[in-house]
Amino acid sequence: MRTDRRRALVGAAALLGLGAVPAVGQDMRLFRIGTGGIAGTYYPIGGLIATIISQPSGARSCDAGGSCGVPGLAAIVQSSNGSVDNIDGIAEGRIESGFVQSDVAYFAQTGTGAFAGRQPVESLRLLASLYVESVHLVVAAESGIESVGDLRGRRVSLDSMGSGTQIDALLLLEGHGLTTDDVVAYHAKPEQAVRLMAQGALDAFFIVGGYPIPSVVEAASDLGARLAPIDGEAAAALVETYPFFSADLIPGGVYAGVGPTPTLAVVAQWLVDARLDEALVHDICRALWHPTARALLDGGHAKGRQITLETALDGAAIPLHPGAERYYREVGLLPPGG
């Protein structure tokens, strides 16, 4: 999409307000999904979901073997700096929805934690929880780094500013008695971090996402990079302090030459604004969980298999959008009534 067209659509969104989705054609509505960097997990998962929920005007109907998406809806994926950037985009009306880590969603909606001192984004609403996101601490092959505590004095990327990874990286440093003053901090996206590591300019980088993450695949296969475990007393204390963290294990063989690695995890969630049209959100939920979507989710990405109706409310620490709540009551995931 050309820059001038994109700007026009953003302007249209601001004029229309969040209760409506900007029109692309006479009978087609645009629905934007904020994701993350192209080398992460949000971006390809966003592409799968955009395909599932879209049903452009003139396409075959679901009953006729066509898409079972929302009639007249054209969903597109937008790359971003991640969770915080997506929250800001939703609040400002630049995007209709976005993928956000469960911890970042809670902090933003309540104005606590990493969002302390900022205006709470009280209008954030949950559409669905998607899958578990594992914290990856990727370390150069000969770095000698075996834990978060070993990062003192080392060159470490905390991911781009405004990402959920950055927030979690800061919590992990704090939990191990470190601050950004104790490391040489970089704020590079994962694909940039891999290039820096290849040049010998970076010792480690954090990335939070559903495995396998393309940038980590590249670092392991091309550079012999390893994953440092995140476990022990410090990790247990973080889980105790921040209940959105859970103990996790990245299985051996996910990345070349990397064995089973204990770590921590959060939940990837799909958020919208409370003012988004209730009927539209209800129909998006129905399309996402339509039986025909299963093949796309299972075959499109390893994490797609974890996106299930049964786990759609896992880690729900912010309110559901009314359209989503109505759908989940209809399918029995919530009790009937109020």
DSSP 265-318: EEEEEEEEETTS-HHHHHHHHHHHTSTTHHHHHHHH-GGGGG--GGGTTTT--S
170 contacts: CB under 8 Å, gap ≥ 6:
114, 158, 180
Nearest to 155 by CA among 200, 190, 192: 200
Write down the pLDDT at residue 22. 61
Q: Are residues 141 and 259 both part of a single domain?
A: yes
Which of 266, 286, 318 is the endpoint of a domain? 266
CA pair distance 289, 276, nearest whole angstrom: 19
Q: What is the mean pLDDT of residues 46-67?
A: 88
| pLDDT value at 18 more than 60 | no
Q: Are residues 146 and 122 both part of a single domain?
A: no
The confidence band for 32, taking pLDDT boundaries of 50, 70 and 90, is: very high
| pLDDT value at 136 more than 90 | yes
Q: Are residues 80 and 39 both part of a single domain?
A: yes
CA 77 to chain centre: 12
Residue 48 in any domain: the answer is yes
Write down the pLDDT at residue 57. 80
Residue 338 in any domain: the answer is no
Quick check: 129 and 312 in contact, CB under 8 A? yes
**CATH at 64:** 3.40.190.10
Say how many residues make up the chain.
338
Residue 96 in any domain: the answer is yes
Write down the pLDDT at residue 38. 87
Rounded percentage of the chain residues whose pLDDT exceeds 90? 75
Q: What is the mean pLDDT of residues 320-338?
A: 93
Number of other CB atoms surrounding residue 249 within 10 Å: 13
Residue 76 in any domain: the answer is yes
| pLDDT value at 4 more than 60 | no
Write down the pLDDT at residue 257. 97
pLDDT tens, residue by residue, 87-113? 999 999 999 999 999 999 999 999 998
Q: Are residues 55 and 171 both part of a single domain?
A: no
Model pTM score: 0.78
Q: Are residues 108 and 154 both part of a single domain?
A: no
Pairing, β 73-78 against β 28-34: parallel
CA torsion 252-253-254-259 (nearest 10°) is 40
Tokens of 85: 């950037």
Write down the pLDDT at residue 37. 86
Q: Are residues 103 and 223 both part of a single domain?
A: no
pLDDT tens, residue by residue, 179-231? 999 999 999 999 999 999 999 999 999 999 889 899 999 999 999 999 999 99
The confidence band for 56, taking pLDDT boundaries of 50, 70 and 90, is: confident
232 contacts: CB under 8 Å, gap ≥ 6:
147
The SS3 of residue 253 is coil
* 65 backbone φψ class: left, alpha, beta (φ>0; ψ -120 to 50): left
Write down the pLDDT at residue 53. 97
Q: Which domain holds residue 294?
A: 3-131+269-330
Instruction: State which amino acid sits at residue 71.
Output: P
Tokens of 42: 């949000």
Which of 266, 288, 308 is the endpoint of a domain? 266
Number of other CB atoms surrounding residue 251 within 10 Å: 11
Tokens of 283: 């129909």
CA torsion 40-43-44-48 (nearest 10°) is 150
Write down the pLDDT at residue 242. 86
Average pLDDT over the chain reads 90
- Per DSSP, what are the bridge partners of residue 139? 204, 226
Q: Are residues 92 and 53 both part of a single domain?
A: yes
- The total domain count for the chain is 2
Q: Are residues 138 and 122 both part of a single domain?
A: no
Write down the pLDDT at residue 26. 53
Residue 11 in any domain: the answer is yes
Q: Are residues 140 and 244 both part of a single domain?
A: yes
Residue 50 in any domain: the answer is yes
Nearest to 22 by CA among 79, 74, 68: 74
Q: Are residues 244 and 323 both part of a single domain?
A: no
| pLDDT value at 234 more than 90 | yes
| pLDDT value at 77 more than 90 | yes
pLDDT tens, residue by residue, 269-315? 999 999 999 999 999 999 999 999 999 999 999 889 999 999 999 88
Nearest to 129 by CA among 330, 307, 319, 332: 307
Write down the pLDDT at residue 24. 57
The confidence band for 14, taking pLDDT boundaries of 50, 70 and 90, is: very low
| pLDDT value at 8 more than 70 | no
Q: Residue 149, CB half-sphere, CA atoms under 13 Å: how many?
A: 8
Q: Are residues 24 and 82 both part of a single domain?
A: yes
End-to-end C-alpha distance for the chain, whole angstroms: 43
Nearest to 223 by CA among 204, 207, 206: 204
Write down the pLDDT at residue 230. 98
Look at 2-6, 139-143, 251-255 and tell me which has the smallest mean pLDDT: 2-6
The SS3 of residue 178 is coil
